[in-house]
Each structure stands twice: as C-alpha cells, then as structure tokens.
C-alpha cells in the first residue's frame, strides 16, 4: 500500500519543528496512521449519525446527496434543517424552485430512512413515527455491523503501518529496538481507538432503544 502524507501529518511535523522537538525515524508512520484512523472514525460517526433513533435530528439527513443541477451535493449545503418538534424535521432549501424541492424529496425517498416527506412547495417536513421494538433491534444490529466493519478497517490500517515499519527496518532506517517501539506505539494507538468504538456502539444503541 502506498503511504500518502496528508496535510494533518504535515501540520504536526511543522508544529514539532517549531517546538524544537526531536523527530524519531518512525514518527512519520505514526502520523500517517493517526491521519488514516481519524478519517475512519469520522466516517463511522457520520454513518451512525444517519441512523434513526426515537427522536428527530438534523444529522439524519445532513449528508444525504441531492442531485443539484447535475452535481451530487450534501443536503446541509442546500437547505436549512431544523427540528420544530421532537419527532419532526423541517427542511427549507435555500433554492426553493420546484426542481430542487423534487430532487430533495427524491433523495430522501431513495435513502434508507424509510420516511415520506411532506411538501408545501417551499419546505419539506419529515414526521418520524415511533419505532417498534423489532425496528429498534434491527437498527441496533445495523449499528453493530457498522462498528465491526470499522474495526476491520482499523486492523487493516494497523497491518499496513506495521508493514511500513518492517520495510524501514529492512532498508536500515530503523533499528531493532526502534521497530519494537514502533509496533508497541501502533498497538497503543489502535487500542485507544477500539475503546472509542465500544463507547460509540453503547451510546448509539442506548439512543435507539430509548422511547
């Protein structure tokens, strides 16, 4: 796998140089790993935010992609989304032309939310019926699946980081002690994130099961 330096890692390296910190040969591996895991965790949060609970939340539709004159655009860039009632979302497109309203409605219907928008020509309202016990169990199972898929992605990122370290050792850029320390730091980083995944699952599951 090709390793790419992202702006986050570059910013950390500049900050380290500004502080006069000594950079270890394996720091780049750890920075790249953190950049990748941060993106993976953010993607998890976005996915969990789009899953229904017992209450309305703008996050349910924030990232829905709407065909805006041929360009797939997140809904939160096209409309003001509010919660006028505990079980209702109101979506008010900035461009309230019939074509845009139609495309927003289409995006909602195509999503996995299972909700039917009601339109008055300028705004759309989403009324959320109470979830049945069976629906709640299915949603919790979906959350579990998403979290487990994230675990797999993180394990792959750990594997790639370890391979990168081993290659640096072969190339003479790391000593045996530095390689061991790199493996230890990689494991420490991933264990911390694993704990965050466990917390995310518990919090989202609790939200779904609450009346």
Q: Are 146 and 48 in contact (CB under 8 A)?
A: yes
Q: What percent of the chain has pLDDT over 90?
A: 69
Q: What is the pLDDT of residue 207?
A: 87
Q: Are 41 and 196 in contact (CB under 8 A)?
A: yes
Specify the range with the lowest mean pLDDT, choosing from 2-16, 19-33, 45-59, 99-113. 2-16
If DSSP codes are grouped into helix, strand and coil, which group holds residue 189? Answer: helix
Of 24 and 71, more confident: 71
Q: What are the pLDDT digits (tens) for 136-153? A: 999 999 999 999 999 999
Q: What are the pLDDT digits (tens) for 33-89? A: 999 999 999 999 988 988 888 788 898 898 899 999 999 999 999 999 999 998 899
How far apart (Å, rounded) are the C-alpha atoms in residues 143 and 159? 25
Q: What is the pLDDT of residue 54?
A: 75
Q: Band of the pLDDT at 16, cuts 50, 70, 90? A: very low
In 3D space, the residue among 83, 117, 84, 82 whose CA is nearest the CA of residue 103 turns out to be 117
Inform me whether the pLDDT recorded for 12 exceeds 70: no
Specify the range with the lowest mean pLDDT, choosing from 51-65, 100-114, 118-132, 186-200. 51-65
DSSP label at 59?
G
């Amino acid at each position: 796998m090709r390793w790419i330096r992202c702006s986050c890692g570059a910013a950390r390296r500049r900050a380290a140089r500004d502080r006069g910190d000594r950079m270890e040969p394996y720091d780049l591996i750890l920075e790249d790993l953190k950049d990748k895991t941060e993106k993976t965790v953010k993607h998890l949060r976005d996915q969990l935010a789009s899953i229904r609970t017992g209450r309305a939340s703008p996050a349910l539709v924030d990232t829905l992609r709407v065909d805006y004159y041929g360009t797939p655009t997140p809904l939160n860039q096209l409309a003001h989304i509010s919660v006028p009632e505990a079980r209702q979302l109101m979506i008010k497109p900035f461009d309230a032309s019939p074509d845009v309203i139609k495309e927003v409605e289409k995006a909602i219907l195509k999503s996995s939310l299972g909700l039917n928008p009601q339109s008055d020509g300028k705004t759309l309202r989403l009324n959320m019926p109470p979830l049945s016990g069976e629906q709640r169990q299915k949603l919790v199972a979906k959350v579990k699946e998403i979290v487990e898929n994230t675990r797999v992605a993180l394990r792959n990122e750990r594997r790639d980081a370890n391979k990168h370290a081993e290659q640096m050792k072969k190339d003479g850029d790391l000593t045996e002690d530095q390689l061991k320390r790199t493996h230890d730091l990689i494991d420490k980083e991933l264990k911390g994130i694993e704990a965050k995944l466990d917390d995310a699952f518990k919090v989202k599951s609790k939200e779904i099961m609450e009346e």
